[in-house]
Chains A and B, each alone.
Chain A
Amino acid sequence: MLQYLLRRFVYAIPIALGVSVVCFALVHISPGDPLASVLPPDASLEMQQIMRQVYGFDRPLPVQFGFWLWRALAGDLGVSIATGRPVAGEVWHAFGNTFMLAALAAAFGFSAGALLGLVAGYWRGGWIDRLASTLSIAGISVPHYWLGMVLAIVFSVQLNWLPATGAGPGGSADWTWDWAHVRFLVLPALTMSVIPLGIVARSVRALVGDILSQEFVDALRAKGLPESGIFLHILKNAAPTSLAVMGLQLGYLLGGSILIETVFAWPGTGFLLGNAILQRDLPLLQGTILVLAMFFVVLNLLVDVAQTWLDPRIKRA
């Protein structure tokens, strides 16, 4: 068990390294001089010289990568072209906002999805099952940026219940957990929760169905265990895999929030990425993607560890 965890950890290192290579390459696959992409267009010749030195653009690529990785490990992700501020600080601030949004969306999507999946799997073929199937297929098919617009049209434009854009009356700087601020979170979080809701419902339904068709359930029934007890057994058996699905979905929420944040002008990492794309601010793009991807790698590792810990059958020596 310990050895498996250790091996899983060792295995994550080359993945993380590969991810950083891909992020490093982003600046180099973009057309034009890489120097031009990290400098504002009006930079002086002297400035250009300094930056060429700092980034080592005159050295071979592997050396450049080494420099870049070393600085990234030290927390230096470069300087945003558009704002002139360090990328790391911008990303850190935005990441908090995205995490808040993703966590709320996850809380809603996971609990609703798990409940729907449990009920649908337990009463297979019933109307709740059909509803769950329809909802989950709609959830994974809907362009969520469009869903966001539709929700904004209904709840902001038509009903005028909730704000359509922004992160609070005074922007995100003075965020507090009161209704005046939280109401800004409701629509983006609701929109975001639709995909994990569908996927979680679908996998929990399949899991419960599988468990119910196993012989040990018949044995429990034959033993005279009441249905509530059987339900507990189902929960216990479905939990590890369900949690793994949810963990990955949380990662997708964090990484995939860009379109929804753009629709609702929510000042998270997605919004940051949108700006970076609009202004061709490559250091900002690279830094944001690196942080999000690394977070996803770590999350994957944690999910694996949690699953191993929860599921006694996994004793991969």
Chain B
Amino acid sequence: MSVPAPDADLGGPAQPLLAVRGLFRHFPIRGGLFNRTTATVQAVDGIDFDVVKGETLGIVGESGCGKSTTARLLVRLLDPDRGELVYDGLPVGTQDGLSLREMRRHVQMVFQDSFASLNPRLTVADSIAFGPRVHGVPAAEATARARDLLARVGLAPDAFGRRYPHELSGGQRQRVNIARALALRPRLVILDEAVSALDKSVEAQVLNLLQDLKAEFGLTYVFISHDLNVVRYISDRVLVMYLGRIVEIGPVDAIYGAPRHPYTRALLSAMPSMDPDRRTLEAPIAGDPPNPINPPPGCRFHTRCPFAADVCRTRMPELVAAPVAHGHLAACHMADPASGHPQAETAA
């Protein structure tokens, strides 16, 4: 039997709100004479991480690195091939764990395309009220909740409630999408490139709104973006992905201040900076990411890495903790004293 979802906190602040364990998701590519599977895209290829209660975890990486697939796996819009999600100590979707339906009351998502994520035939109030209605909230109460949320995301309910999505601006629509995600009173919100399509000025307003809502409702965020500046601004911790795998994870200051993985360093160096003193001289990454259909063996970054050694071409590096900084892990042979890489850090 699955247990009903607890509305209150279960395991205390030390227990991760969401634990991701060994998540895999490959997509088959069909073709050939009889539509057989001819190849697989290894979109997400074995990732482990925790989302700590109350934090904002940023996920960054180039397009095609598996960020969006990860987002969809976290809300179970996609089923993983392998691996599990543990929500506040309760395994999701198993016999004795949390049912998917219950989990979805607690984990919600905001999508990138503000227009495509609203039904054009419903008024925005109806779109927001839909989730609560599904979970048995009476119509009047659901509408009241929708109006309340509209006000909280900065849209006057009387002026906007009865409008249709095409009658709103992109920023207004994304506010509606945020309100819709909050309508089920979730504890965790996955923001998949939620501000990426907005103008810079609107983006800042929505980011501030997200910060306010987080404090107001005691939310936890997973914030996915390709924009390193935005991630730095909003995140407590940052996770860097490359071709379906985590290459580095750690506190935001550690990642931006002392990146340990060459890929992270290259990403950061490609980031435009206003301050000449902070411009690095490190070479930007050359070329496009390798095809995720046929990822290279060993470390996936070795084809573009200036420090690639023999070990990088043969063995896949594991996430290794930094000797000093707590909770800062990198999947690079150079970070592992025992890897045999000629430039490996020596044990402290």
Q: Do chains A and B touch in the complex (CB under 8 A)?
A: yes
Chain A residues within CB distance 8 Å of chain B: 3, 6-7, 10, 317
Interface membership of B287, Cβ < 8 A: no
Give every chain B residue within 8 A of A7 (Cβ-Cβ).
32-33
Jot down 8 A-B pairs with beta carbons below 8 A, ordered by A.
Answer: A3-B32, A3-B33, A6-B33, A7-B32, A7-B33, A10-B33, A10-B34, A317-B31
Residues of B within 8 A of A10 (CB): 33-34
What is the bound-complex CA distance between A38 and B57, given in angstroms? 77
Please give me the residue from chain B that is nearest to A7 by CB atom: B33
Please count the residue pairs between chain A and chain B whose beta carbons lie under 8 angstroms apart in the complex. 8
Instruction: Give the shortest distance, in Å, between B3 (CB) and chain A (any CB).
Output: 48
In the bound complex, residues from chain A placing their C-beta under 8 Å from that of B33 are: 3, 6-7, 10
Separation of A234 and B32 alpha carbons in the complex (Å): 34
Q: Which 8 A-B pairs have the closest CB atoms?
A: A7-B33, A317-B31, A6-B33, A10-B33, A3-B33, A3-B32, A10-B34, A7-B32
Q: How far is the CA of A176 from the CA of B34 in the complex (A)?
A: 49
Instruction: Give the total of B residues in contact with A, Cβ under 8 Å.
Output: 4
Residues of B219-274 at the interface with A, using a CB-CB cut-off of 8 Å, are none
Q: Which residues of chain B have C-beta atoms less than 8 A from A6's C-beta? A: 33
Q: Indicate with 1 or 0, residue by residue over B8-35, a CB within 8 angstroms of chain A CB atoms.
A: 0000000000000000000000011110
Given A6-B33, A7-B32, A7-B33, list of 5 further CB < 8 A pairs? A3-B32, A3-B33, A10-B33, A10-B34, A317-B31
CA distance A6 to B32 in the complex (A): 10
CB neighbours (8 Å) of B32 from chain A are 3, 7
- Kindly report which residue of chain A lies nearest to residue B35, judged by CB atoms: A7
With A and B bound together, what is the CA distance between A10 and B33 in angstroms?
A: 8
- The winner among B31, B32, B33, B34 for most chain A CB atoms within 10 A is B33
Q: In the complex, what's the smallest C-beta–C-beta distance from B30 to chain A, in angstroms?
A: 11
> Shortest CB–CB separation between residue A308 and chain B, in angstroms?
16
A7 to B34, CA, bound (A): 7
Q: Which residue of A lies closest to B32 (CB)?
A: A3
**Shortest distance between the CB of A70 and any CB in chain B (Å):** 26
**A107, B34: Cα distance in complex, Å:** 38
Closest chain B residue, CB of each to CB of A6: B33
Tell me the complex Cα distance, A7–B33, Å.
5
Residues from 30 to 55 in B contacting A, C-beta threshold 8 Å? 31-34
Query: How far is the CB of B303 from the nearest CB of chain A, in Å?
Result: 25
**Chain B 121-155 interface 0/1 with A at a Cβ cutoff of 8 Å (1 = within):** 00000000000000000000000000000000000
Residues of B within 8 A of A3 (CB): 32-33
Chain A residue at minimum C-beta to C-beta distance from B33: A7
Q: Name the A residues within 8 Å of B34 (CB-CB).
A: 10
- Nearest chain B CB to A12 CB, angstrom units: 13
Give CA–CA (A7, B30) in the complex, Å: 13
Mask, B203-214, CB within 8 Å of A = 1, is 000000000000
Residues of chain B with a CB closer than 8 A to A317's CB = 31
Q: Determine how close the nearest CB of chain B comes to the CB of A10; give it in whole angstroms.
A: 6
What residue of chain B has the Cβ atom nearest to residue A3's Cβ? B33
Q: How far is the CA of A6 from the CA of B33 in the complex (A)?
A: 7
Question: From residue B33, how far is it (CB to closest CB) to chain A in Å?
Answer: 5
> Please, how many angstroms separate the alpha-carbon atoms of A6 and B34 in the complex?
10
Q: What is the CA–CA distance of A317 and B39 in the complex, to the nearest angstrom?
A: 14
Q: Mark B64-80, 1 if CB is under 8 A from A, else 0.
A: 00000000000000000
For B31, the chain A residues whose CB sits under 8 A away are 317
Bitwise interface map of B from 92 to 108 toward A, beta carbon under 8 Å scored 1, else 0: 00000000000000000
The chain A residue sitting closest to B31, CB to CB, is A317
With both beta carbons as reference points, the residue of chain B lying nearest to A317 in the complex is identified as B31
Closest chain B CB from A282 CB (angstroms): 37
